[in-house]
Amino acid sequence: MGRPEVWMGCGVRLTLMKRGLEKKLFVTPPQPGFEGVPFQGGLLCPLTWNNALSLKTLFGQLSPRRLPPRPSFGFGDRLGLATPGHLRALEGTEVFPVLAQQSMRENARTGRTYADVLADAIFGAFQAGWTRGFGADADHLKSVEEARQAARLGYTFFTCDPSDFLVPVERLPIATLRQEAQEVPWAELERAYLGKDFPIPGLGELRFQKEELWCIAVKYWRALKFAEEMYRALRDELPQGFDFELSVDETLTPTTAKEHLFLALELQRRGIELTSLAPRFPGDMEKAVDYRGDLEEFRQALRVHKAIAQAFGPYRLSFHSGSDKWSLYPIIAAEMEGIWHIKTAGTSYLMALELLVRVAPALFREIFGLACTRFPTDRQSYHVRADPVELPSLQNLRDLELPTLLRIPAARQILHVTFGSVLQKYGEDLKRVLLEHEEEYHQALAEHLGKHLRALGVKGDV
Ligand SMILES: [Zn+2]
């Protein structure tokens, strides 16, 4: 496995061993809390949640912690094998990693639990010899109960996704909107917002018109109530503090300055401290491909959101579907002064498939075939525009030509959103190949994600 995987301390020696294609933790002398079978004077322990807990009790550096005031990068890992490669990408940077970044939507499709995901991250950090700390992100939380569950397991970063409670004012008939509007305490809001200027340094003064306030309040009111409920529950669970992100990135229209301002003011009034906000940016942040949209418009939106985030937090802006957005990184680097959080997930899965193309092309062909069949169903709930018609037929491609297929945006997106179906059928086969070629996988991840960090101006050449 190449990297330090022996940790010693408190008179105990721990080694991550590969036994065939399975990894085990060898603990000697045997320690209370670890579960395993006796082996050469020690204990040979499977990589279970209980053993991950004991490991992080022994080495505090392996407990997730809150974000320091530095840029942060989210590394989603759908297979649970990528963490050492992710952490290697951070060599030569001060960027703080957020691991275990998976949503319920992803877990439902991969058949994992929050505990599985966190255990994989802990063992991955152990394998990498990582002692500089990391966060753990329970991503796109859609219920308070999920948030509580993740908090109890030791997650530190909670991404509240209120999209089920957002009212699409642009689309609904006026009668429905009137009904929604009954939820909102108008007298109170009008007193707080109308006839006033809200000065935002760097942006000027913002003022709400009555009709505009009506639309914004109706759109976000129930979402804010949900965020408040989740935040309070988390404060109960974690009185020592936690990172809280509000993500409104999966909406129909870009978040406007006044929408952001309204959210910031309402969150403040409710005592909610944000670590980050993920607004919906103009243009398209689709999965696995570069940004599609007007770069100047993106830059202007960034300035607006940054000014409001600075005035109210400061909190950082969070960029979802953040992988492979090559045209945006120089703009983020130039505008954000290192106050950003970027989330990636699918790209590490695609890297695994790229490896597969090279070392197990027959398996890749099967996977790609299944992905094309499943795409029309699996694409629902994902923001992609791929059309399988754009793709060359697989039979016409020789093995040597398969890597070019993975550079076609439509192919990347099809593979990106069908991971659940693919892993259900081929997950074990894929993992076996990755374990056989583990070092190669980690190195490829380190290079690809390192390239992201270099484009963001936070990584020198090492
Ligand atoms: Zn998102």
How confident is the model at residue 3, as a pLDDT? 41
How confident is the model at residue 8, as a pLDDT? 64
Between CA 104 and CA 86 the distance in angstroms is: 21
Between CA 174 and CA 90 the distance in angstroms is: 51
248 Cα–ligand 1 center, Å = 8
Q: Tokens 């700390």 label which residue? A: 133
Between CA 22 and CA 19 the distance in angstroms is: 5
Element (H, E) at 74: strand 72-75
383 Cα–ligand 1 center, Å = 10
380 Cα–ligand 1 center, Å = 15
From edge to edge, which strands make up the β-sheet containing 22-28? 6-9, 12-19, 22-28, 42-46, 37-39
Domains of the chain: 6-58 (no CATH), 65-462 (3.20.20.70)
Between CA 120 and CA 129 the distance in angstroms is: 14
In sequence order, what E strands does 135-283 have?
A: 135-141, 157-160, 198-200, 204-206, 243-247, 276-278
3 state SS of 418: coil
Q: Tokens 């229209």 label which residue? A: 253
CA-atom Rg of the chain in angstroms: 23
289 Cα–ligand 1 center, Å = 15
How confident is the model at residue 2, as a pLDDT? 38
414 Cα–ligand 1 center, Å = 18
Residues tagged active-site: 139, 245
194 Cα–ligand 1 center, Å = 32
How confident is the model at residue 190, as a pLDDT? 95
* CA atoms within 13 A of residue 260's CA, in its CB half-sphere: 32
Within the chain, which residues score under 70 in pLDDT?
Answer: 1-10, 461-462
119 Cα–ligand 1 center, Å = 23
Burial per residue of 413-444, b for 16 or more beta-carbon CB atoms within 10 angstroms, e otherwise: bbbbbbbbbbbeebbeebbebbbebbeebbeb
Residues 6 or more apart whose CB falls under 8 angstroms from that of 174 comprise none
Between CA 153 and CA 151 the distance in angstroms is: 5
377: left (phi over 0), alpha (psi -120 to 50) or beta: alpha
How confident is the model at residue 6, as a pLDDT? 64
User: What are the two backbone dihedrals, phi and then psi, of residue 14, each rounded to the nearest 5 degrees?
Assistant: -125, 130
379 Cα–ligand 1 center, Å = 15
Q: How buried is 40 (Cβ within 10 angstroms: 0-12 exposed, 13-18 middle, 19+ buried)? A: exposed
How confident is the model at residue 380, as a pLDDT? 83
C-alpha of 421 from chain center:
20
35 Cα–ligand 1 center, Å = 37
How confident is the model at residue 19, as a pLDDT? 79
The pTM of the full predicted model, rounded to 2 decimals, is 0.94
In sequence order, what E strands does 386-461 have?
A: none
Q: How buried is 37 (Cβ within 10 angstroms: 0-12 exposed, 13-18 middle, 19+ buried)? A: exposed
3 state SS of 139: strand
The model's pLDDT over 122-166, given as tens digits with 9 standing for 90+, comes to 999 999 999 999 999 999 999 999 999 999 999 999 999 999 999
160 Cα–ligand 1 center, Å = 10
